[in-house]
A and B are shown apart, each in its own frame.
Chain A
């Protein structure tokens, strides 16, 4: 088997950065924040590259939708082993439905057998795009994957669900969204980072793909969550139990 795999990677504020609202509450202050590839997308790239290394896949294409700088995240994917990249360049903050429509247009162009995405972007915390792409392309979806097994024109996906684990089987082409336990992404080696600079990277736009970027959901305000009032340190277990019983009255 030699599958063509499309991987979607998003440029997001690094997971170590604690963001704050802008002074006027109109958005989040990310002006000088460190940007990275969304961790779940990194897991998606790793999974695709492993499938290629196992001989299951023959080509891995990394796609990102966002500003010009999203090239950096595509190059990261290329350094991890993806073969070529596509940037859908836009300065608009597209919502998951519009992102899914861009990806649908690329799916129609590239006809991948498998699309691997993250389960969630850690900025918007949407957890939507893979499922939406599934609906738009009539592909099956294996979300929150902790194990992926491609065989005989089908993919078996073990999913992390609230009650434990669930396994489903999907006809190819299909969509997989990654959960944390799917794999541990490798670090890109320096030679591979150098090689990635020479790999092909095409650029297109939402308009070229026929996608309207208009957003039906507007952000009216962004604010800090309610602060918790300061707590106290207790000296020992006896004091802790006393406080929980007599002060907080929770046990």
Chain B
């Protein structure tokens, strides 16, 4: 078995999601190489070489990969990945964008969002918003997989000493260009990596009221998330959405405030270790997954909580 892990990075550094994928690769077993495709990505490649259990880092440093355009990176993955039995990437928006395209180039059926490795060809993955878990087996000779990062504890970021090999393959499909980006800036921890998350829903009523959650978050060192309803209503930006079609989180503590607990929301947070729900409606389905439920008006409970911390 030989596994190619596609690094998630910002050119300068490696994103922790890569360490979770390396853990999934170790569960499959075999030699593990990491592909770092980027522009001026030496920093990310060095970080990948230091991660535990990596045999070799392949660095493709080219302007065509600067913004991870799927049209270009998928061509590279299909080219480099040909000799491997497995190609793995995190189920981030970047991994989801690139991997199915690479899989189709290799004429294999991609496997999305695995949460467990049963054997080298058998995996578990949630379907129907996590209402059921499917065990699936692939007969493709190259298995192209995205990994749910919260389901695998990351390998150590330090201690490895892989070699870094540069390749000068430049696959520019010439059909897409990067125009720009608006990235959220926050001093709080990243939502999918935070050990505490406090999320607000439609019950928050507006964006200003999220200030109450930010105050609690800052006392706890927590990240702030939201339901789809809160994002749709414009209270907070899209990158805060937790759920089936947003981000998957599994912190030690998840606090849901003014969130009813629709199945699509639960899909993104029900693997949290401890769940707290604050809702004025005692019938709200969120209480069925909560370890601690508090029936209260959030406008009194949240300021009280902040005071009590």
Q: Do A and B belong to a common assembly?
A: yes
Chain A residues with CB under 8 Å of chain B are 13, 15, 18-21, 28, 40, 95-97, 100, 119-120, 122-129, 131-136, 138-141, 143-144, 146, 156, 159-171, 174, 179-181, 215-225, 228, 231-234, 236-238, 240-241, 243-244, 248, 250-251
A residues less than 8 Å from B183 (CB atoms):
163-164
Assuming the contacts A124-B127, A167-B181, asked whether A234 and B292 have C-beta atoms less than 8 A apart, the reply is yes
Assuming the contacts A97-B108, A237-B301, A248-B274, asked whether A156 and B289 have C-beta atoms less than 8 A apart, the reply is no
Q: How far is the CA of A107 from the CA of B69 in the complex (A)?
A: 23
Q: Which of B132, B136, B276, B290 is packed against the most chain A CB atoms within 10 Å? A: B132
Q: Is B108 within 8 A of A216, CB to CB?
A: yes
B residues less than 8 Å from A169 (CB atoms):
176-177, 179
Q: Is B275 within 8 A of A216, CB to CB?
A: no
**In whole Å, how far is B154's beta carbon from the nearest beta carbon of chain A?**
17
C-beta contact mask, B81-122 vs A, less than 8 Å → 1, else 0? 000000000001110111111111101111111000000001
Q: Is B289 within 8 A of A251, CB to CB?
A: no
Assuming the contacts A167-B179, A181-B238, A218-B136, asked whether A140 and B71 have C-beta atoms less than 8 A apart, the reply is yes
Assuming the contacts A127-B112, A222-B132, asked whether A162 and B127 have C-beta atoms less than 8 A apart, the reply is no
B residues less than 8 Å from A166 (CB atoms):
67, 178, 180-181
**In whole Å, how far is A239's beta carbon from the nearest beta carbon of chain B?**
8
A residues less than 8 Å from B130 (CB atoms):
225
Q: Which residue of B lies closest to A132 (CB)?
A: B104
Q: How far is the CA of A144 from the CA of B132 in the complex (A)?
A: 24
Q: Report if B58 contacts A (CB, 8 A).
A: no
Binds A, one of B24-32, B137-145, B160-168, B201-209: B137-145
Q: Which residue of A lies closest to B238 (CB)?
A: A160
Q: How far is the CA of A229 from the CA of B205 in the complex (A)?
A: 31
Q: Is A250 within 8 A of B273, CB to CB?
A: yes
Assuming the contacts A162-B92, A170-B176, A180-B228, asked whether A128 and B112 have C-beta atoms less than 8 A apart, the reply is yes
Q: What is the total of A-B residue contacts with beta carbons within 8 Å?
A: 259
Q: How far is the CA of A215 from the CA of B108 in the complex (A)?
A: 10
Q: How far is the CA of A156 from the CA of B176 in the complex (A)?
A: 10
Q: Is A125 within 8 A of B276, CB to CB?
A: no
Residues of B contacting A: mostly: mixed
Assuming the contacts A231-B275, A232-B291, A248-B291, asked whether A132 and B100 have C-beta atoms less than 8 A apart, the reply is yes
Q: Which residue of A lies closest to B69 (CB)?
A: A168
Q: Which residue of A lies closest to B122 (CB)?
A: A220
Q: Is B101 within 8 A of A217, CB to CB?
A: no
Q: Is A171 within 8 A of B175, CB to CB?
A: yes
Complex A-B: 19 CB contacts under 8 Å: A97-B107, A125-B128, A127-B100, A129-B100, A134-B71, A162-B192, A163-B181, A163-B184, A166-B178, A179-B238, A179-B245, A217-B136, A224-B132, A224-B133, A231-B292, A237-B301, A250-B196, A250-B274, A251-B196
Q: Is A168 within 8 A of B178, CB to CB?
A: yes
Q: Report if B220 contacts A (CB, 8 A).
A: yes
Q: Which of B103, B128, B287 contacts A132 (CB 8 A)?
A: B103
Q: Which of B70, B97, B140 is packed against the most chain A CB atoms within 10 Å? A: B97
Q: Which of B104, B253, B264 contacts A136 (CB 8 A)?
A: B104
Q: How far is the CA of A84 from the CA of B309 in the complex (A)?
A: 60
Q: Is B109 within 8 A of A165, CB to CB?
A: no
Q: Which residue of B lies closest to A95 (CB)?
A: B109
For window 183-208 of chain B, which residues contact chain A by CB distance below 8 Å? 183-184, 192, 196
